[in-house]
Amino acid sequence: MKLFDFLRNADINVGVSEYKANDDAILLDVRTSEEYRDGHIDGSVNLPLDRISSIENIVKNKSTPLYVHCYSGSRSGQAVSYLKKIGYTSVKNIGGINSYRGKVVK
């Protein structure tokens, strides 16, 4: 297994479809505020990775399904590791918006 093979498994298009099928889920974008303003997936919540520790103020129920993405999948992988470490139980890294085929909003 190569170092970044785990990123190849994440397909943001599949992840967004799963998010949309789950009414209780949150689509979490961990890119910077500037990146988010440049274009984001409609309905996503922006919480930059450097502020991920404030997640408990935004999502109080730790069983809420969280679909996490960034630009390439790397920062979202870090966020998912942190979220699991602090007790979130339904967290998925869906990869990077750079491979998203849907519409983005500005």
pTM of the model: 0.91
CB 102 within 8 A of CB 58: no
- pLDDT digit string (tens) for 65-86? 999 999 999 999 999 999 999 9
- pLDDT digit string (tens) for 28-41? 999 999 999 999 99
> In order of start, what are the domains of the chain with their CATH numbers?
5-100 (3.40.250.10)
Residue 70's DSSP bridge partners are 96
- So what's the pLDDT on residue 7? 46
With a cut of 50, say whether residue 2 has pLDDT above it: no
Select from 76, 98, 89, 100 the least CA-distant residue to 24: 89
CB 74 within 8 A of CB 56: no
pLDDT grade, residue 9 (50/70/90)? low
